[in-house]
């Protein structure tokens, strides 16, 4: 019996799944459904993460029935690379998807995605709205064609035709999507006085509710993507009104870390593409407060839509047979380190929300501070549902943490971000979060160029000082550099004794 078998059976037993002996005798496995909720650009700015200003009652309620990971990290802090890594179970250096144009099947034609693996093992799978990055959908992942807001109705012949057209067009283009149109964008936020489902995420919730009604009665994997709080922060007025009297604070560290190498920073071009943001220079304090308020309103709008979908799951009495997992695809700078958007290797961009609720889970309502990675989600869901875990995956199932949130776990989580260095070339920044430190190396291998960052969260909780160059750090830098080079395989948890 392998260690993996032992841990899987142990985890299922602790979760209240079938007793291992019975499962072994009957070959029965829990065929939990999966409600897989992706939230675009949601950072851990939620009640269940300790924020008392934000209104996130529905995600908080999910957390009270699940496990909250306080230190979960995406593998690259921008939409498509993060989602591609999570959905293929492979790291960006394997998918070689570092930007928003390349489809992973260009480099990995035979990859088996997470929903595809469930489809292959008898599940109905479908994707609503943004699961893969926009325009980079993957037809073979879905047993029922995916759906996007403002397209034909889900499950309709028209939607299937649209889906086939998109798939054919991707193939024709060598799976290469056109860069998103950078047409002149309007303001960064708006508060129209409209119904929830006048906007995309409300339509997605409506469709998810309809999909649940149709999918019940068979094992299903329903992936539902919500677009807010991605820019622009457009949410119905009632969600902005939640914060009418709220006293927002500016980021406590609206400046680059001391001694930071310039390669770690960026000019937040995404935000600047909106009409009310200056093309250069800092964002005014007044605008920064507006943006923070807008972000909160947009997050609350999505929280309400998530509540509607989970409410339907309960109404249909599917809650006790369904795993609900929620993740934001990466973190988001709201002025911290003088930055906006994602696109960095800083803690604030790499760390993202992750909540899992498993039927019968004994750890319901608890938090885990274990270092987990989004690349771990694929093997975790397979293990919990009795779906075989493909051998090529580069993550580790955290099902043992769902059973025992305080157990020893990974020694590091890994992220990366590419950046052009003017006059030098294209750098890749590889970053590693350990229990105490964040250590990052930016390299242009052809030029033997290197820049290093080291933050000590024990002495500097906000990561405001890069101590990599300090004489007293030399031995630690050497040690962490070796650990970074040894990589994710060496950081995996040890099998229980
Ligand atoms: Ca995103």
pLDDT tens string 91-103: 999 999 999 999 9
Q: What is the mean pLDDT of residues 331-340?
A: 98
Choosing from 350, 385, 403, the residue where a domain stops is 403
Pairing mode, strands 413-421 and 425-433 = antiparallel
Query: Is residue 408 in some structural domain?
Result: no
**Are 391 and 471 in the same domain?**
no
Name the maximum alpha-carbon separation found in the chain.
67
**Nearest to residue 351, comparing CAs of 370, 330, 365, 333?**
330
Contact 399, 383 (CB under 8 A): yes
Examine residue 496 and state whether it is found in any structural domain, yes or no. no
pLDDT, one tens digit per residue, over 251-287 is: 999 999 999 999 999 999 999 999 999 999 999 999 9
**Beta strand 333-334 pairing with 437-444:** unpaired
Q: Is residue 126 part of a domain?
A: yes
**Separation of CA 97 and ligand 1 centre (Å):** 14
pLDDT in tens, 403-450: 999 999 999 999 999 999 999 999 999 999 999 999 999 999 999 999
In 3D, which of 414, 445, 328, 380 has the Cα closest to residue 49?
Answer: 328
- The rounded Å distance from CA 228 to ligand 1 centre is 9
φ, ψ at 24 (rounded to 5°): -65, -40
Q: Where is the domain boundary, 403, 436, 458?
A: 403
Q: What percent of the chain has pLDDT over 70?
A: 91
The whole-number pLDDT of residue 250 equals: 98
132 CA from centroid of ligand 1 (Å): 10
Would 7 be classed as within a structural domain?
A: yes
Chain-centre distance for alpha carbon 193: 30
**Residues in CB range of 278: below 8 A, 6 or more apart:** 272
- Environment of ion ligand 1 (residues, CB < 5 A): 40-41, 79, 329
Which contiguous run of DSSP H or E holds residue 37? strand 33-39
Q: Which residue has the tokens 């250590």?
A: 439
Q: Report the distance separating Cα 376 and Cα 455, nearest Å.
A: 25
Same domain, 466 and 361: no
User: Tell me, what CATH number does 262's domain have?
Assistant: 3.40.720.10
**Could you tell me if 162 and 309 lie in one domain?**
yes
Q: Rounded distance, CA 334 to CA 353, Å?
A: 16
- For residue 79, the CA-to-ligand 1 centroid distance in Å is 4
Query: Is 1 a domain residue?
Result: yes
Residues 339 and 460 in one domain: no
Cα–Cα distance for residue pair 433/439, rounded to 1 Å: 7
What span, in angstroms and rounded, lies between the C-alpha atoms of 130 and 112? Answer: 19
Residue 130 belongs to what domain range?
A: 31-403
230 Cα–ligand 1 center, Å: 7
Give the whole-angstrom CA distance, residue 401 versus residue 394: 18
Same domain, 387 and 470: no
State the distance from the centre of ligand 1 to the C-alpha of 401, rounded, in angstroms.
Answer: 26
Q: Is residue 149 part of a domain?
A: yes
Mean pLDDT of the chain: 92
List own/partner pairs for 198-204 with CB under 8 A and 24 or more apart.
198/236, 199/234, 199/235, 199/236, 199/301, 200/129, 200/149, 200/150, 200/227, 201/129, 201/149, 201/226, 201/227, 201/228, 201/301, 201/302, 201/305, 202/305, 203/149, 203/150, 204/128, 204/129, 204/149, 204/305
Report how far apart, in Å, the C-alpha atoms of 216 and of each of 33, 228, 434 are: 9, 27, 42
Q: Please write the tens of the pLDDT for every residue from 410-422.
A: 999 999 999 999 9
Block residue for tokens 């498993």: 358
> What is the reported pLDDT for 181?
44
Q: Answer whether residue 497 is part of any domain.
A: no
Give the tens place of pLDDT for each residue, 28-52. 567 999 999 999 999 999 999 999 9
Does residue 51 share a domain with residue 25? no
How crowded is the C-beta side of 468, counted as CA atoms within 13 Å? 24
Per-residue pLDDT of 66-93, as tens digits, reads 999 999 999 999 999 999 999 999 999 9
Do 442 and 371 reside in the same domain of the chain?
no
Are 56 and 138 within one domain?
yes
Beta-carbon contacts of 434 under 8 Å, excluding residues fewer than 6 positions away, are 371, 411, 412, 480, 483
Dihedral sign for Cα atoms in the order 129, 131, 136, 141? negative
State in Å: Cα 426 to ligand 1 middle: 23
Q: Which secondary structure element, helix H or strand E, spans residue 439, and what is its range?
A: strand 437-444
- Backbone torsions φ then ψ of 128, nearest 5 degrees: -115, 130
Look up the pTM and report it: 0.93
133 CA → ligand 1 middle, Å: 8
- Give a yes or no: residue 127 inside a domain: yes
Residue 5 clears pLDDT 70, i.e. is over it? no
Give the residue from 368, 403, 438 where a domain finishes.
403
Query: Are residue 323 and residue 355 in the same domain, yes or no?
Result: yes
Going from the Cα of 349 to the center of ligand 1, the distance in angstroms, rounded, reads 10
Query: What pLDDT is stored for residue 174 in this prediction?
Result: 61
209 and 305 share a domain?
yes
What's the CA gap between 438 and 411, in Å, rounded?
12
Name residues whose C-beta falls within 8 Å of residue 66's C-beta, 6 or more positions apart in sequence: 324, 355, 356, 357, 358, 361, 364, 365
CA angle at 448 for the pair 445 and 453, rounded to the nearest 5° = 85
**Are 334 and 340 in contact, with CB atoms under 8 Å apart?**
yes
Domain count, the chain: 3
Q: How far apart, in Å, do the first and last CA atoms of the chain sit? A: 14
**Structure-token pair, residue 35:** 């409600």
Q: Which residues are catalytic?
A: 79, 133
Is 209 found in the same domain as 343? yes
Distance 330 CA to ligand 1 centre (A): 6
Please state whether beta strands 233-234 and 189-190 pair in parallel, antiparallel, or not at all (unpaired): parallel
Helices and strands, number each (H, E), in the chain: 16, 17
Looking at the structure, do residues 22 and 51 belong to the same domain, yes or no?
no
For residue 495, how far is its CA from the centre of ligand 1 (angstroms)?
A: 34
Q: What H or E segment, with its residue span, contains residue 24?
A: helix 20-26
The CA 41 to ligand 1 mean position distance, Å, reads 4
Tell me, what's the pLDDT at 167? Answer: 77
> Six-digit token pair at 9?
């059976």
- Structure-token pair, residue 112: 């088996």
**171 — pLDDT class (breaks 50, 70, 90):** confident
């Amino acid at each position: 019996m392998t260690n993996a078998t032992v841990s899987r059976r142990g985890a299922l037993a602790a979760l209240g799944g079938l007793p291992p002996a019975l499962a072994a005798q009957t070959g029965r496995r829990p065929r939990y459904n999966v409600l897989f909720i992706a939230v675009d650009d949601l950072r851990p700015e939620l009640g269940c993460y300790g924020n008392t200003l934000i209104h996130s009652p529905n995600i908080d309620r999910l957390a009270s029935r699940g496990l909250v990971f306080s230190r979960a990290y995406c593998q690259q802090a921008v939409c498509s690379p993060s989602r591609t890594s999570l959905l293929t179970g492979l790291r960006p250096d394997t998918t070689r998807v570092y930007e928003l144009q390349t489809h992973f099947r260009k480099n990995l034609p035979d990859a088996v995605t997470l929903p595809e693996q469930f489809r292959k093992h008898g599940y109905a799978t479908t994707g609503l709205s943004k699961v893969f990055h926009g325009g980079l959908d993957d037809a073979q992942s879905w047993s029922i064609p995916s759906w996007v807001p403002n397209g034909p109705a889900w499950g309709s012949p028209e939607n299937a035709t649209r889906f086939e057209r998109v798939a054919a067009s991707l193939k024709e283009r060598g799976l290469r999507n056109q860069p998103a149109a950078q047409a002149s964008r309007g303001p960064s936020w708006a508060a129209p006085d409209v119904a929830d489902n006048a906007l995309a995420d409300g339509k997605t919730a409506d469709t998810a509710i309809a999909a649940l009604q149709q999918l019940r009665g068979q094992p299903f994997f329903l992936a539902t993507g919500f677009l807010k709080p991605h820019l622009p922060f457009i949410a119905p007025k009632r969600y902005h009104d939640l914060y009418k009297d709220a006293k927002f604070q500016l980021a406590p560290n609206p400046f680059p870390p001391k001694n930071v190498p310039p390669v770690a920073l960026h000019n937040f071009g995404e935000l600047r593409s909106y009409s009310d943001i200056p093309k250069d220079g800092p964002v005014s304090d007044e605008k920064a407060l507006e943006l923070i308020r807008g972000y909160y309103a947009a997050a609350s709008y999505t929280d309400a839509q998530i509540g509607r979908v989970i409410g339907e799951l309960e109404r249909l009495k599917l809650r006790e047979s369904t795993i609900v997992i929620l993740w934001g695809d990466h973190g988001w700078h709201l002025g911290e380190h003088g930055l906006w958007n994602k696109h960095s290797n800083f803690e604030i961009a790499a760390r993202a929300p992750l909540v899992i609720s498993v039927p019968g889970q004994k750890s319901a309502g608890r938090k885990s501070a274990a270092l987990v990675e989004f690349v771990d989600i694929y093997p975790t869901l397979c293990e919990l549902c009795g779906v075989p875990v493909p051998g090529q995956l580069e993550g580790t199932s955290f099902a043992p943490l769902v059973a025992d949130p305080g157990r020893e776990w990974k020694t590091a989580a890994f992220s990366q971000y590419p950046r052009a260095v003017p006059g030098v070339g294209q750098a890749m920044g590889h970053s590693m979060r350990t229990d105490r430190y964040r250590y990052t190396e930016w390299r242009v291998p052809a030029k033997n160029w290197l820049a290093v960052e080291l933050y000590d969260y024990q002495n500097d909780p906000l990561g405001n000082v890069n101590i990599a160059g300090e004489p007293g750090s030399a031995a630690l830098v050497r040690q962490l550099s070796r650990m970074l080079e040894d990589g994710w395989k060496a950081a995996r948890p040890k099998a229980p004794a």
